[in-house]
Amino acid sequence: MRDFSYVRANSLDAARQAAALPGAMLLAGGTTLIDLAKCGVAEPETLVDIAHLKGLDRIEVNERGATIGALARMSHVADHADIKSRFPAVSEALWQAASAQIRNMATIGGNLMQRTRCPYFRDPANFPACNKRQPGSGCSAIGGVTRGHAVLGISDACIAMYPGDLAVALVAFDAIVHLGERHIPVDDFFLLPGTTPDREHAIEPGEMITGIEIPGSASARRSTYLKIRDRQSYEFAAASAAVGIEFEPDGRTIRDLRVALGGVATKPWRARAVENALKGKVLEPDTVRAASLLAVEGSVDHGANHYKVELAPRVVARAIRKLGETA
């Protein structure tokens, strides 16, 4: 870890100005930044401490939806009574996202800005070729050990999997990321690797996340987050699904459906083909099973991660059936 300057911002404007400096990085909970610095990936010239900015840790929920400040702690949001009742998938995603210690430290804004857990990205000493770290250097993962890598949204430049849980639920329910004066859909905030995998978020120099807004809906109220992983404690998803359903008055016909995938793509992945296939249909096991196969339409595996192509539709189908059983 190299030497760096430390600035404690005392206002939003001061934080934005400092964040625009070359080599500057924001510090809130620090749970991701410290990891990246330890492994030699993050080498900030200036750390801008925003942890003490007032007003950015609020959680407000009403009939229109929820507004969550960027500095709200993951554990506080997950345990918020109105989030649990109106956006259960969001609460469940947060509870399954990390250890208790990390949830108590990590912030919502920092969670959205977390970077991939690709071992090739995080080991520059042994794998210098990584287009996320050094554009144009190549992708060490292609041709390597790929069990934890993406099968959706990949490119010739990068197959690294997006590791988060919260963002999957936010994408499912059309959340909006607040960047000060600019507000953008969370699905647009996360970028596909394409030929520029080093750019993961649609955030410009001098901008910072100030909060997120989640519109209220009947499908968000009846929702769940299902995460399949190798072990139950502090593990990233092999495949996950955030699903919300609104039924017609008969309790079986699907009026609205939201589906997003985690653990299988280079960004949180909205499965609109599944949604479109099931809207207006009666929830039946065979119908759900067939539609869920569309979740991995266009997928490309690299050998060891082929199991994700089979696992993801099963996770989607299971989550949909779970919600149907409670109708």
- pLDDT tens digits for range 84-130: 999 999 999 999 998 888 888 999 999 999 999 999 999 999 999 99
Q: Going by C-beta distance under 8 Å and a sequence separation of 6 or more, which residues neighbour residue 157?
A: 131, 139, 193, 194, 195, 196, 197
Confidence of residue 306 (pLDDT cuts 50, 70, 90): very high
Same topology for domains 5-49 and 219-325, yes or no? Answer: no
State yes or no: pLDDT of 231 exceeds 90. Answer: no
Residue tagged 């989640």 (tokens):
214
Kindly state the average pLDDT of the residues 121-142.
96
Kindly state the average pLDDT of the residues 301-306.
96
Structure tokens at 172: 């499912």
User: What single letter denotes the amino acid at residue 299?
Assistant: S
DSSP, res 161: P
Q: Across the beta sheet with 254-262, what order do the strands follow?
A: 223-228, 239-247, 254-262, 269-270
Structure tokens at 234: 């502090």
Confidence of residue 184 (pLDDT cuts 50, 70, 90): very high
Confidence of residue 39 (pLDDT cuts 50, 70, 90): confident
Instruction: Please give the class, per CATH, of domain 219-325.
Output: alpha beta
Please give the mean pLDDT across all residues of the chain: 94
Say whether 322 sits in a helix, a strand or coil.
Answer: helix
Kindly state the average pLDDT of the residues 137-151.
97
Confidence of residue 178 (pLDDT cuts 50, 70, 90): very high
| pLDDT at residue 38, as a whole number | 86
- Considering the entire predicted model, what is its pTM? 0.95
| pLDDT at residue 230, as a whole number | 85
| pLDDT at residue 210, as a whole number | 96
- pLDDT tens digits for range 278-290: 999 999 999 999 9
| pLDDT at residue 1, as a whole number | 57
- pLDDT tens digits for range 189-209: 999 999 999 999 999 988 999
Is domain 5-49 given the CATH code 3.30.43 in the classification?
yes
Domain definitions of the chain by residue range: 5-49, 219-325
Kindly state the average pLDDT of the residues 145-173.
97
